[in-house]
């Protein structure tokens, strides 16, 4: 049942839904028996709590990693991610990947034999949906004797299956990781699929019972492959260079490098894929729309119990970041635990196959935190263990506002930390105050650190507002040492008080005597322990004093509940705070005007 290493693997087969227990399909027909091809990697733990289920995209299959024999020149389609010591580490996790219903790599599909006729199904094969595919996978899970999945992962159409898994089987899926996907195709996405199908159906070699449409399938693949790349990546890879020669030939044969590249992609696809499967799988993608099924995307996610991490790519114009953010908003409206990162990449939609460093780091942290939750009861990495990994003995390291903020937060509270940085404050609050927390951060590198700590974090620019978060969804919203970097402080403050019952804000005091002295005597922009960067190095765009902030709160009609002022080494200042305090911490709430 398992493989010790992803180096050499064997495809396994199982027959499900044998008559009279055929699968009831969404189209109204019944199908059975169904053969399923699948591969496994790693060792199943004694408690069966380490299962990672990978869902493949349109042109993928069960062969996600490794080789079939030593002579193979290629490896599985996600070998950069799956294997010993890789992000999905087969020394730790038991990985399962199956070929989808309707596929052409061992699982029953339109080119399989119709048991009623003894001939290939061809176009007589019933139309299948993403939901049908996932129900077959669930039957495979049951037959393998598994009742829980640590995480379901998939990119593109695989991500659609991840969403279906989480919606349909909320008690089975501990966590879900949809990558570069959508809850439904746009009109443009459906249009590209239609062009591919029409190219196949219009191929003069197309026949009803045999998957022969070499020209049409090649064109379908060319069109699809264009959508997988970004304009930048195509320009950098091909530009307008000619494949052979330096002059135009003035004919209609392929001569630009990009043309011959697409010719190669089309031909190699014909050699390994099935025209019928392309028709059926692309149609299943068109039909996928849980919002239509449930009335809204919010309603579709209402009963999910999975912890989510959604990833998109900045240059993906097929399944755009905006489509991933729709998933994020629908989950947040339902109060679900969801992390989101929009990964900077020039590779377009194909980036999930080509970005092992950033995506791999996110996967590593997310998988480890979910396994830690099952085994230890908490997702967040203990601070002592984190410090050992990073060679640090002190988790405050220059942040004397952290202990004060910790004292101001009630245990078991719901916390949103805006500009959470590397997540150290949330990690501290999770450990010492047992809070339920979420961070908001714009920096990709800091998001990776936060996810590595086992925390929930959302990549977002708070200056654009925080409409994804419902009213009163947190007890405290924290803005720690970030106010000076905000472009629209009024918007951010009002959003904090809309979302949270209380807001906690800390910032360095520009009116501290050292700053005044440097400005008054030296005539230079201050550089102090709490304003450590020169004016040309700082991310801060504003500088304010305690009096400035309190006046700002008065203007907004904000009620001030707690004021704390800190001097050197975090010592609390009681008198002449605007002169002596290096930083301030305020707890505020809505007043009559806020």
Q: Catalytic site residues?
A: 156, 316, 349
Bridge partners of 52?
95, 151
For residues 193 and 286, the answer to whether their CB atoms sit within 8 Å is yes
Is residue 227 within 8 A of residue 318, CB to CB? The reply is yes
Report the distance separating Cα 417 and Cα 402, nearest Å. Answer: 12
- Based on the number of CB atoms within 10 Å of its own CB, is 563 exposed (0-12), middle (13-18) or buried (19 or more)? middle
d(Cα 348, Cα 229) in Å, to the nearest integer? Answer: 5
Q: Could you tell me the two tokens for 533?
A: 């960067």
DSSP helix, strand, coil percent of the chain (3-state; round to 5)? 40, 20, 45
Nearest residue to 101 via CA among 113, 110, 93, 91: 110
Tell how many helices (H) and how many strands (E) occur in the chain. 20, 21
Query: What stretch of H or E contains 161?
Result: helix 157-168
The beta-strand segments (E) located in 531-571 are 558-566
- Asked if residues 457 and 451 have their Cβ atoms less than 8 Å apart, the reply is yes
* Angstrom distance (rounded) from CA 481 to CA 399: 9
Distance CA 525, CA 583 (A): 17
Asked if 428 and 406 count as a contact pair (C-beta separation under 8 A), the reply is yes
State the CB neighbour count (10 A cutoff) for residue 560: 14
Q: Which of 92, 97, 109, 79 is closest to 154 using CA atoms? A: 97
């Amino acid at each position: 049942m398992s493989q010790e290493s992803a180096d050499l693997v064997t495809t396994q087969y199982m027959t499900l839904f044998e008559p009279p227990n055929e699968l009831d399909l969404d189209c109204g027909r019944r199908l059975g028996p169904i053969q399923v091809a699948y591969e496994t990697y790693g060792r199943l733990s004694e408690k069966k709590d380490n299962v990672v289920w990978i869902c493949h995209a349109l042109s993928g299959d069960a062969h996600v990693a490794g080789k079939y024999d030593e002579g193979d020149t290629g490896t599985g389609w996600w070998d950069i991610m799956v294997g010993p010591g890789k992000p999905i580490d087969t020394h730790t996790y038991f990985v399962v990947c199956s070929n989808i219903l309707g596929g052409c790599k061992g699982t029953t599909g339109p080119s399989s034999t119709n048991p009623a006729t003894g001939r290939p199904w061809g176009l007589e094969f019933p139309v299948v949906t993403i939901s049908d595919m996932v129900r077959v996978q669930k039957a495979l899970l049951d037959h393998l004797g598994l009742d829980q999945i640590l995480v379901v992962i998939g990119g593109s159409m695989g991500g659609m299956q991840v969403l279906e898994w989480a919606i349909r089987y909320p008690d089975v899926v501990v966590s879900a990781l949809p990558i570069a996907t959508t809850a439904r195709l746009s009109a443009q996405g459906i249009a590209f699929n239609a062009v591919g199908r029409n190219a196949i159906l219009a191929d003069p070699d197309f026949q009803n019972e045999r998957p022969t449409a070499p020209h049409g399938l090649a064109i379908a693949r060319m069109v699809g492959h264009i959508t997988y790349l970004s304009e930048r990546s195509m320009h950098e890879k091909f530009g307008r260079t000619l494949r052979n020669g330096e002059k135009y030939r003035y004919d209609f044969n392929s001569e630009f490098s990009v043309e011959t590249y697409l010719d190669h992609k089309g031909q190699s696809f014909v050699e390994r894929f099935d025209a019928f499967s392309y028709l059926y799988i692309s149609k299943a993608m068109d039909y996928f729309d849980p919002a239509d099924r449930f009335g809204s995307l919010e309603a579709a996610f209402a009963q999910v119990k999975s912890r989510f991490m959604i990833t998109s790519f900045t240059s993906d114009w097929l399944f755009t970041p905006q489509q991933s953010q729709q998933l994020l908003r629908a989950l947040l409206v339902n109060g679900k635990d969801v992390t989101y990162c929009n990964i900077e990449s020039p590779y377009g939609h194909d980036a999930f196959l080509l970005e092992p460093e950033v995506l791999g780091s996110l996967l590593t942290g997310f998988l480890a935190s979910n396994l830690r939750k099952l085994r230890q009861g908490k997702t967040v990495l203990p601070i002592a263990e984190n410090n050992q990994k990073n060679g640090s003995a002190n988790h405050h390291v220059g942040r004397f506002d952290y202990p004060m903020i910790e004292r101001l937060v009630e245990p078991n509270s719901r916390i949103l930390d805006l500009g959470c940085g590397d997540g150290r404050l949330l990690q501290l609050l999770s450990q010492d105050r047992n809070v339920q927390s979420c961070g908001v951060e714009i920096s990709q590198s800091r998001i990776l650190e936060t996810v590595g700590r086992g925390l929930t974090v959302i990549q977002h620019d708070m200056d654009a507002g925080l409409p994804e978060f419902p009213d009163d969804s947190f007890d405290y919203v924290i803005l720690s040492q970030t106010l000076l970097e905000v472009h629209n402080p009024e918007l951010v403050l009002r959003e904090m008080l809309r979302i949270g019952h209380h807001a906690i804000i800390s910032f360095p005091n520009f009116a501290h005597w050292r700053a005044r002295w440097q400005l008054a005597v030296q005539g230079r922009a201050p550089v102090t322990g709490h304003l450590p960067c020169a004016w040309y190095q700082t991310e801060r765009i504003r500088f304010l004093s305690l009096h400035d902030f309190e006046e700002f709160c008065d203007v907004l009609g904000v009620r001030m509940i707690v004021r704390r002022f800190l001097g050197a080494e975090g010592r609390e200042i009681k008198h002449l705070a605007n002169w002596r305090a290096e930083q301030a911490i305020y707890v505020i709430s809505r007043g009559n005007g806020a």
